[in-house]
Structures are given as structure tokens and as C-alpha cells.
Amino acid sequence: MSELFFRRYLISSLFKLSRNQAHTMREKELTTSFFIYDSLQELSKEDQDLMNLAKKSLDHSWSPYSEFKVGAAVLLKDGKMYGGSNQENAAYPLCLCAERVTIAAAESQSPHIPIMSIAVTVKNPNQLIDQPAAPCGSCRQVICETERKHKQEIRVLIRGEVGPIYMFKSGKSLLPFSFDETFL
């Protein structure tokens, strides 16, 4: 088979393949639901305490490069709460997000007690953040993995420095196509 013939055959085959795929493509819509609280006072006392610990944890943020502070707090099934903050590094890929710092602290100190909720808040000295900032993809993955570990959904509360609080029923609500052990 000549090289020219082979190239024409390959291009023709790819064209037919892509044309056939176009006929079988389907669109699906993915939605999620969450609750919006307009103020901290609308939350339960327990959730208020959790959000306040997340806010207090902002003070421990090490963010000299971005100046973007993130505080997080988790509530365990036994009522214990742990707080944590983001820890930056001049080598950006080595930065640690507040959500992962906090989950790791809780899992290290109380490895057999499920996390019931995580609260996250942010602060930027250069602008007022008045809407919730969602966890990054890596943090969403860790939340989902922690849910699977304990066979327990983790409620996710997120807030800006001020403004409404969004509450998601689980990490899976934020990352519906999470990677899990079924792929391994």
C-alpha cells in the first residue's frame, strides 16, 4: 500500500468515524441543588460555631504571595471541631488548601470519627468577597474520598468574608463525577 493511499484511507476513515459519532452524540444536563442562608443567624448554633471557627482560622493563613486567605473548620460526629487554613509556598504547586489541611488534621487526630460538616470562608485584603468561594477540584475530591472512607456524607458550608452562606448536602453535590476506587 502506498503512503499516499494509506493517508487518504486514514483521513477517510477518521472522517467517517467523526461523522458517525456526531449522530450518536447526546447531551445530558447535570444540576445540583443547595440551600442559601442570607445570614449567619439563620444557621443552627452548631453551624454558626463551625463558621466562626473557619473565620477564626483565617488568622493562621500563611498567604504572603496571593494574600488570599482561606479558613476551614470541620465538625466530627462526636462534636469535636478542628480548624485549619491555607498554607502557601513560593513553589505554588506545593501550596496546601485550608480544606485539605483541616480534613487531614481531623483524620490524623480522630481517624475513626466521621466528619459531618465542613465550613469554608475566605478573605482578600484587596477586595471584599461578598459571595461564597467554592473549594477547588482537589479539595472536592478529598471531601468525596473522606465521605467514602466513613460512608458518611459531609455537608459543605461556604461563605465569602460576608454575605450569604451556601450549604451543599455533600461533597458529591460539588463533584458529581468524582474519581473513586471503582476505577482502580
User: Hey, where are the domains in the chain?
Assistant: 35-178
**Which pLDDT score is estimated for 49?**
98
CATH number of the 35-178 domain: 3.40.140.10
Q: How far apart are CA 130 and CA 121, in angstroms?
A: 10
Residues of the chain with pLDDT under 70: 1-23
**Which pLDDT score is estimated for 6?**
47
Q: How far apart are CA 182 and CA 144, in angstroms?
A: 13
**Which pLDDT score is estimated for 161?**
96
Within a 13 Å sphere around the CA of 65, how many CA atoms are in the beta-carbon half? 10
To the query of whether residue 99 is one of the catalytic residues in this protein, the response is yes
**Which pLDDT score is estimated for 85?**
98
**Which pLDDT score is estimated for 87?**
98
C-alpha cell at 178: 468524582
Of 42, 88, 99, 147, the active-site residue reads 99
Looking at the whole model, is its pTM more than 0.75?
Answer: yes
Residue bearing cell 458550608 = 157
Q: How far apart are CA 47 and CA 158, in angstroms?
A: 11
